[in-house]
Amino acid sequence: MAEDKGIIAELFWKINEPKDKNNMDDLEKKHTPVLEFPAKVKKGEAFELGVKVGSMPHPMQNAHFIQFVDLFVDGLYFTRVNFTPVVTEPKAKISVILSAGKEISAVIRCNLHGLWKSSYPIRVE
Ligand SMILES: [Fe+2]
């Protein structure tokens, strides 16, 4: 394994998800991606997908920051947003066009605390 530079290995080398979405601890609140979009979207029409990390602000300093968020529909990757410490916040709005899909997922990576995932149901009609 590469030299540890503050990485929390037990979190970094797996995909983390909150144990209980309705009762998250501060670590989970700071890392779990939050997605906002209409509950029902029209097939083939653009809609706005908002993503932020997380429900509690996460540091964006050089030593500790959110590197990116990857987005998936039904487990298939469709885009990535990269973030830069100090000059960006870990949030974005993206115009998305789907022809099908039942679930949108996001996976973020913190440079110290690793990958964190959340999934949301969506209706594409
Ligand atoms: Fe972190």
Residue 4: inside a domain: no
Residue 3: inside a domain: no
Spacing, Cα 54 to ligand 1 middle (Å): 10
Spacing, Cα 5 to ligand 1 middle (Å): 13
Global pTM value:
0.93
Please give the average pLDDT of every successive group of 10 residues along the chain, which has 125 residues: 73 94 95 95 97 96 97 98 98 97 97 97 95
Q: What is the CATH number of the domain that holds 71?
A: 2.60.40.730
Number of folded domains in the chain? 1
Residue 1: inside a domain: no
Give the separation between CA 60 and CA 102, rounded to whole angstroms.
Answer: 32
Spacing, Cα 47 to ligand 1 middle (Å): 29
Give the separation between CA 122 and CA 5, rounded to whole angstroms.
Answer: 38
